[in-house]
């Protein structure tokens, strides 16, 4: 029997994502001037106020207020009427030095012997139902909000948009787990105040269905375009008026959108957040590494859907173990346990090895903090960072290295494919 599956996304202006972006902007600035920085930075945003807290071990000094305000302004909170804007909000920093009790288990005489920065389990997932090996419902949810943000910044075809928004997509699947059609799309977007609420709601619905969605569809591969139909149930701003939003409408916290950040509820999640953590924290680095493994396994033909789990003990170099679930989609006679054994030989999952393989000690994290950490485009960009004393550094950094298919040949060789 056919079934429905739903995933959601939130925009860069969602309060939790504002918090994530501030935390990751701090990470990038620390790593730009001291790549050995150890950072765990949490952010809280609410009406007119930002609170920074966390632990840092670094040789650099940052103007955290300026970084915070620049991040907020870049998102689009630049007007006093939003009750939260980068130029006027308060910024309180309670960041302090990292505990030596934690640090002693991570830093070792040899970098190769670096222990895991925490205990826990991390998951990576990949499926062949999209070109970027991501679950379709989440991929579409992200795309809708990326395009909505583009329309907001263009301020041409739709001129009333504010930064906060959410989306949700429901897909109908066949018994053999193949997407058949899009059943429903939900979009809630913050907007300027209107004199007439009924006219406002009608206009927003019309603009979303007739301007936003066609722009999203036009950028999709033809097989995915074919899933759109005239019977899609649209729920546009279903609660009605949405003028009060962002951190004024809801308090935002770092790490509260971990399912949006990963696979939209497909696969599994270990529970650890990513943003605000340097790569010695395996919550982040090992989640990227397991995505890298899963994507390369699917691309190599080991299975059409793969879940990878790895687990660690704090301060211990080697992982506790690697688990693989191919959901019965492996086309050759091999158990998931046998696949896991081969994977553990192909991919070095020691924390320092992950950092080196995926180039994680670079300022690459601001781009991850909205619209998902997985399924994004691997590219090289140039960034410039400036310290309070005026010293600046310009770096070429490679983004989303865990999305590379650079291990496909090694996987094929290991599995004799």
Phi, then psi, of 328 in degrees rounded to 5: 75, 15
Distance, in Å, from the CA atom of 37 to the CA atom of 144, rounded to the nearest integer, reads 35
Q: Say whether 33 counts as a known binding-site residue.
A: no
Is 23 annotated for ligand binding?
no
What does the block give as tokens for 166? 């959410």
Judge whether 164 is annotated as a binding position.
Answer: yes
Is 273 marked as a binding-site residue?
Answer: yes
Which residue from 305, 5, 9 is spatially nearest to 172, judged by alpha carbons? 5
First-to-last alpha carbon distance for the chain, in angstroms, is: 34
42 is in an annotated binding site: yes
Q: Do the annotations mark residue 277 as ligand-binding?
A: yes
Report whether 352 belongs to an annotated binding site: no
Residue 55 annotated as binding site: yes
Q: Is 165 annotated as a binding residue?
A: yes
Tokens of 47: 């009406």
* Residue 259: C-alpha distances to residues 50, 143, 266, 282 (Å): 24, 16, 9, 17
With CA atoms as reference, report the closest residue to 397 among 379, 377, 375, 370: 379
222 in a known ligand binding site: no
| Ligand-binding site membership of 14 (annotated) | yes
Q: Which of 131, 166, 121 has the alpha carbon at shortest distance from 10?
A: 166
* Residue 98 marked as a ligand binder: yes
Strands (E), 80-178: 90-97, 120-127, 161-173
219 is in an annotated binding site: no
Q: Residues 266, 125: contact at Cβ < 8 Å?
A: yes
State the virtual CA torsion across 66, 283, 248, 237 in degrees, nearest 10: 130
Residue pair 276/41 in contact by the 8 Å Cβ criterion: yes
Read off the DSSP letter of residue 130.
S
Ligand-binding site membership of 242 (annotated)? yes
Known binding positions for Mg(2+) = 16
Task: Enumerate the known binding-site residues for K(+).
Answer: 42
Output the known binding site. 14, 16, 42, 55, 98, 164-166, 241-242, 250, 256-257, 273, 277, 281
Annotated binding site for ATP: 14, 164-166, 241-242, 250, 256-257, 273, 277
Bind-site residues for L-methionine: 55, 98, 250, 281
């Amino acid at each position: 029997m056919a079934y429905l599956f739903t995933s959601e996304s939130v925009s860069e202006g969602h309060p939790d994502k504002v918090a994530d972006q501030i935390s990751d902007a701090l990470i990038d600035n620390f790593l730009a001037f001291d790549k050995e920085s150890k950072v765990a930075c949490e952010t809280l945003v609410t009406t007119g106020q930002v609170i920074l807290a966390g632990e840092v071990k670094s040789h650099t000094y940052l103007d955290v207020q300026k970084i915070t305000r620049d991040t907020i302004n870049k998102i689009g909170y630049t007007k006093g009427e939003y009750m939260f804007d980068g130029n006027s909000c308060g910024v309180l920093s309670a960041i302090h030095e990292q505990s030596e009790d934690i640090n002693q288990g991570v830093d070792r005489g040899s970098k190769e012997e670096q222990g895991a920065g925490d205990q826990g389990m991390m998951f990576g997932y990949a499926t062949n139902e999209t070109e970027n090996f991501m679950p379709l419902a989440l991929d579409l949810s992200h795309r809708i909000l990326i395009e909505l943000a583009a329309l907001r910044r263009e301020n041409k075809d739709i001129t009333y948009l504010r930064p906060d928004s959410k989306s949700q997509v429901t897909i109908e699947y066949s018994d053999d787990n193949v997407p058949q059609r899009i059943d429903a799309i939900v979009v809630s977007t913050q907007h300027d105040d209107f004199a007439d609420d009924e006219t406002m709601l009608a206009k927003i619905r019309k603009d979303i269905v007739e301007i936003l969605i066609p722009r999203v569809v036009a950028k999709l591969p033809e097989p995915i375009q074919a899933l759109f139909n005239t019977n899609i149930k649209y729920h546009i701003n279903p609660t009605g008026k949405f003028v009060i939003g962002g951190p004024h409408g809801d308090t935002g916290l770092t790490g509260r959108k971990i399912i949006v950040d990963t696979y939209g509820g497909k696969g599994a999640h270990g529970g650890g957040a990513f943003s605000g953590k340097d790569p010695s924290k395996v919550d982040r680095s090992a989640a990227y590494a397991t995505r890298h493994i899963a994507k390369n396994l699917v691309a190599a033909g080991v299975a059409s859907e793969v879940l990878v789990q790895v687990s660690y003990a704090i301060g211990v170099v080697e992982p506790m173990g690697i688990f693989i679930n191919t959901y019965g989609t492996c086309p050759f006679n091999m158990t998931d346990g046998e696949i896991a054994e081969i994977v553990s030989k192909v991919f070095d999952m020691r924390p320092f090895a992950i950092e080196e393989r995926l180039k994680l000690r670079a300022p690459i994290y601001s781009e991850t903090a909205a619209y998902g950490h997985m399924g994004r485009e691997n590219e090289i960009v140039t960034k410039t960072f400036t310290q309070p004393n005026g010293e600046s550094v310009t770096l070429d950094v490679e983004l989303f290295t865990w999305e590379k298919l650079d291990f496909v040949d090694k996987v094929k060789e290991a599995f004799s494919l």
